[in-house]
């Protein structure tokens, strides 16, 4: 692209009819100078570069570039010289918003005109920064906004802001750094305020001691508290004991009785010959169909070895020795718990005349029929265990059954007695009796 000076020089040479070379600018012909060349108009088409423009006259003098900025001629002309370097643009006013100012105060006019630089000699020196004020401990009164131009504020219109108390920094730099990180030590507990009387005066040392002594619990209060805790502990222990007696002992007794029954049937299957049974050894199984009772019968009435294990004990100790089911005559007397430890005889009071009780041994099934009952008798009445039980209604020797247990329930004050007599003696080879089959 050629400059304006170059084109003028070429045009002048053509118009002069071959006279000497015209004076040209010092810059290359292809360089465009925005200060000396006219501004392009209409995009890429400039009036100086159109083919229909007439060539400039040769007689027009060619001006050399001045030392300062030279503005091309044009419709806008050169701007007026100004002292500041803002000659190419005007300052743009800031975007004001109407809601920043009260409704009665007009908005300021945007700035216009040249910006002048203040004389440094007339500029006041910048004041030194004010010292940081101490922490504020009193309320701050702030006046409410007033109308423009009103320099006085009504004291009644001021409102007090809450005081901002800045606690003084304590400790060294390390402590402050730890506190900022949240890893510092906890602040010490504040000291207790001195004791004061109701009238506001401070108590003396003697008065403070008397007040502290009065605040302590009296011996009666401490004793009642200890007694209450003892009662609560005793109640918890009793509750646990009752739970053990009424529930857990039955669970354990049923397990032990079931194991004893399996052992007896296994001995029978192995063909062991019956003989003298040791105390606590099981030898028979009693069935009470009406009560759905199936329990092993062991030798003796030991509480620990027999009764507490959920088994039925056979009276065969000392002066209370009774007959066996296989004996031709006699009284087969047994005992069992009515409550707790498996409680196999809990509901024998429900047995009525004609109900059946079957005693199963290794050789046979012995079926007894209930005949009578004694609701209550003292434990010392051992006559109910004789070969012909007293009070049973039997008058001559026979093969009898006597069931004994404690009464009333959950006590051992008296004994409940139920009697029966044998009505069937069936060998095992003939199968189960009708009482068990039905």
Tell me which of 337, 338, 341, 399 is the catalytic residue: 337
Of 83, 88, 93, which is closest to residue 115 (Cα–Cα)? 83
For 280, left (φ over 0), alpha (ψ -120 to 50), or beta?
A: left
Q: What is the spatial distance between Cα 117 and Cα 339, in angstroms, rounded to a whole number?
A: 115
387 in a structural domain? yes
319 in a structural domain? yes
What's the pTM? 0.52
CATH number, domain of 388, equals 2.40.260.10
Which residues, other chains included, contact 246 with Cβ-Cβ below 8 Å and sequence gap of 6+?
A: 339, 340
Which residue range is the domain that position 75 belongs to?
Answer: 1-80
Of 80, 115, 138, the one marking the end of a domain is 80
* pLDDT tens per residue across all 438 residues of the chain: 444 444 443 344 343 344 444 444 444 555 555 555 555 544 444 444 444 445 445 444 555 554 555 555 545 555 555 555 544 545 555 554 555 545 555 555 655 555 555 555 555 566 666 666 555 555 555 445 444 444 444 545 445 555 555 455 555 777 777 777 765 455 555 555 566 767 777 878 888 888 887 778 888 888 999 999 999 999 999 999 989 988 999 999 999 999 999 999 998 988 877 777 888 999 999 999 999 999 999 999 999 999 999 999 999 887 789 999 999 999 999 999 999 999 999 999 999 999 999 999 999 999 999 999 999 999 999 999 999 999 999 999 999 999 999 999 999 999 999 999 999 999 999 999 999 986
Q: Are 74 and 38 contacting, i.e. CB atoms less than 8 angstroms apart?
A: yes
185 in a structural domain? no
Tell me which of 287, 341, 399, 406 is the catalytic residue: 406
314 in a structural domain? yes
195 in a structural domain? no
254 as an active site residue: the answer is no
7 as an active site residue: the answer is no
The pair of structure tokens assigned to 130 is 């004010």
415 as an active site residue: the answer is yes
206 in a structural domain? no
Q: Are 250 and 257 contacting, i.e. CB atoms less than 8 angstroms apart?
A: no
User: pLDDT tens digit string along 79-127?
Assistant: 555 555 544 545 555 554 555 545 555 555 655 555 555 555 555 566 6
The pair of structure tokens assigned to 101 is 């100012």
Domain total of the chain = 2
Of 22, 49, 80, the one marking the end of a domain is 80
DSSP 64-75: PPPSS--PPPSS
404 in a structural domain? yes
Tell me which of 287, 338, 399, 415 is the catalytic residue: 415
Of 13, 48, 80, the one marking the end of a domain is 80
14 in a structural domain? yes
């Amino acid at each position: 692209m050629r400059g304006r000076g170059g084109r003028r020089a070429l045009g002048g040479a053509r118009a002069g009819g071959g006279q000497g070379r015209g004076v040209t600018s010092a810059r290359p012909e292809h360089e465009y100078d925005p200060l000396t060349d006219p501004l392009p108009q209409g995009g890429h088409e400039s009036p100086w570069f159109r083919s229909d423009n007439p060539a400039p006259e040769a007689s027009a003098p060619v001006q050399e570039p001045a030392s300062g900025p030279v503005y091309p001629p044009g419709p806008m002309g050169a701007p007026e010289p100004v002292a500041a370097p803002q000659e190419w643009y005007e300052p743009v006013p800031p975007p004001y918003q109407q809601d920043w100012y009260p409704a009665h105060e007009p908005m300021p006019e945007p700035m216009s005109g040249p910006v002048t630089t203040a004389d440094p000699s007339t500029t006041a020196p910048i004041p030194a920064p004010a010292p940081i004020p101490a922490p504020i401990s009193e309320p701050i009164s702030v006046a409410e906004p007033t109308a423009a131009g009103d320099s006085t504020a009504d004291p009644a219109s001021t409102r007090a802001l809450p005081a901002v108390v800045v606690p003084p920094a304590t400790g060294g730099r390390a402590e402050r750094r730890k506190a900022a990180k949240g890893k510092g030590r906890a602040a010490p507990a504040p000291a207790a305020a001195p004791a004061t009387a109701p009238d506001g005066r401070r108590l003396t040392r003697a008065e403070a001691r008397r007040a502290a002594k009065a605040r302590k619990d009296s011996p009666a209060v401490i004793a009642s508290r200890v007694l209450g805790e003892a009662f609560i502990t005793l109640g918890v222990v009793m509750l646990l004991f009752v739970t053990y007696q009424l529930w857990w002992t039955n669970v354990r007794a049923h397990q032990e009785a079931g194991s004893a029954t399996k052992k007896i049937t296994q001995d029978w299957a192995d063909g062991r010959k019956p003989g003298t049974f040791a105390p606590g050894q099981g030898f028979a199984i009693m069935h009470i169909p009406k009560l759905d009772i199936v329990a092993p019968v062991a030798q003796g009435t030991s509480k620990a070895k027999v009764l507490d294990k959920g088994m039925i004990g056979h009276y065969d100790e000392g002066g209370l020795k009774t007959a066996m089911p296989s004996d031709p005559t006699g009284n087969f007397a047994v005992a069992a718990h009515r409550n707790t430890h498996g409680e196999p005889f809990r509901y024998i009071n429900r047995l009525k005349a004609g109900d059946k009780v079957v005693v199963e041994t290794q050789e046979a099934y012995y079926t007894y029929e209930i005949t009578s009952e004694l609701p209550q008798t003292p434990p010392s009445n051992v006559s109910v265990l004789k070969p012909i039980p007293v009070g049973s209604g039997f008058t001559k020797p026979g093969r009898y059954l006597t069931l004994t247990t404690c009464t009333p329930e959950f006590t051992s004050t008296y004994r409940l007695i139920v009697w029966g007599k044998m009505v069937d003696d069936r060998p095992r080879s003939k199968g189960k009796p009708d009482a068990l089959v039905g």
